[in-house]
Amino acid sequence: MILGIDEVGRGPWAGPLVVGAVVLGDTAIVGLADSKKLSAKKRNVLSKEILEKATAVGLGWVHADELDSIGLGPALALATRRAVEQITVPYHEIIIDGTINFLKGTTKENYVSLLPKADSLIASVSAASIVAKVARDGWMTEQAVNYPEYGFERHMGYGTALHGDALALHGVTPLHRRSFAPIATLLGVGSTPSIKASQSTTSVGNRHEQAVATLLEQSGHSVLDRNWRNRWCEIDIVSERSGTLYFTEVRYRRTTDQGGGLGSITPAKLAKMTRAAEMYVSNQQDRPRQLQIASVDVEGAISILQIE
């Protein structure tokens, strides 16, 4: 009786964060896998079967306004607690996908095992990722009726070119995460930003940064933080994969003749990035096993990404 936990919706510009919690018990469901590796049609079929056959299913929601008020990390912990509170059947272990115990400080923390890639390895965690993904995608598709000009049913709130263009034309909705840098930037130039403003270096750079975050997620990373900063330094993207915490600097240049973005990573800049990583980790209750400084060089269009 394993309680599997996984989340969806860390990185989008709009919409809720959703955590799934599933106890399968003796139920065997064929085809379970990481929800990101399944087609939408297959996810929908499996989600229906999980809801019908699983011993228990819980979903924890944190919407954009609440996430903005408490921050991404606390929102993940809150959504996890909300999901677990809906599980009333017995279980002997909780497995969370990743390396952070979001139940730390609760009566459940000693039941938790952390396992990177658990959504590909543990059936109940796979099931949790699927029901959370389908629930969130369904909610975003419903919101597309209220905000048809944003195309939520196509990008589910993630930072795509379509989404960025819609924001430039129509402004920010109540669904948007105002604490996320791309949205905060738009709000800084007015409640109904112009197309010209959306194409500024800062705005375009933010869109490339979101593209990098999406690419990292597609490569198996879990994005933990975006634009983390304190008075001394900042980190563009913090992500985790297979027990390693990555601190990624996104360097953007409009054209190749401006000099590669990686060329700007001087020894002094690298030392600053290292200090920033150390400061970030010093605030974490659960220190990761490995730390990695990374840089992504982005040139020209969003479709051109060179990762080194």
pLDDT band at 106 (very low <50, low <70, confident <90, very high): very high
Segment 174-195 shows an average pLDDT of 70
| Percent of the chain surpassing pLDDT 90 | 54
Last residue of a domain, one of 124, 143, 162: 143
* Total number of domains in the chain: 2
Euclidean distance between CA atoms 16 and 13, whole angstroms: 10
Radius of gyration over every alpha carbon of the chain, rounded to an integer in angstroms: 20
Predicted confidence at residue 263, as pLDDT, reads 61
- Domain shared by 29 and 129, yes or no: yes
Give domain status of residue 276, yes or no. Answer: yes
Q: Which segment of 194-203, 254-263, 286-295 scores lowest on mean pLDDT?
A: 194-203
Q: Which segment of 32-41, 145-154, 171-180, 270-279 scores lowest on mean pLDDT?
A: 270-279
Segment 148-152 shows an average pLDDT of 94
pLDDT band at 29 (very low <50, low <70, confident <90, very high): very high
Predicted confidence at residue 124, as pLDDT, reads 97
| Percent of the chain surpassing pLDDT 70 | 83
- Domain shared by 139 and 208, yes or no: no
pLDDT band at 119 (very low <50, low <70, confident <90, very high): very high
Segment 244-266 shows an average pLDDT of 68
Predicted confidence at residue 153, as pLDDT, reads 95
Judge whether residue 70 has pLDDT over 80: yes
Give domain status of residue 238, yes or no. Answer: yes
- Domain shared by 126 and 240, yes or no: no
Predicted confidence at residue 230, as pLDDT, reads 67
Predicted confidence at residue 229, as pLDDT, reads 73
Query: For residues 271 and 48, which has the higher predicted lDDT (pLDDT)?
Result: 48
Predicted confidence at residue 197, as pLDDT, reads 32
Predicted confidence at residue 280, as pLDDT, reads 80
Last residue of a domain, one of 143, 161, 188: 143
Beta-carbon contacts of 69 under 8 Å, excluding residues fewer than 6 positions away, are none
List the CATH number of the domain containing 25.
Answer: 3.30.420.10
Predicted confidence at residue 147, as pLDDT, reads 93
Last residue of a domain, one of 110, 125, 143: 143
Contact 70, 82 (CB under 8 A): no
- Domain shared by 15 and 104, yes or no: yes
Contact 125, 6 (CB under 8 A): yes
Give domain status of residue 190, yes or no. Answer: no
- Domain shared by 64 and 137, yes or no: yes
pLDDT band at 75 (very low <50, low <70, confident <90, very high): very high
- Domain encompassing residue 247: 204-308
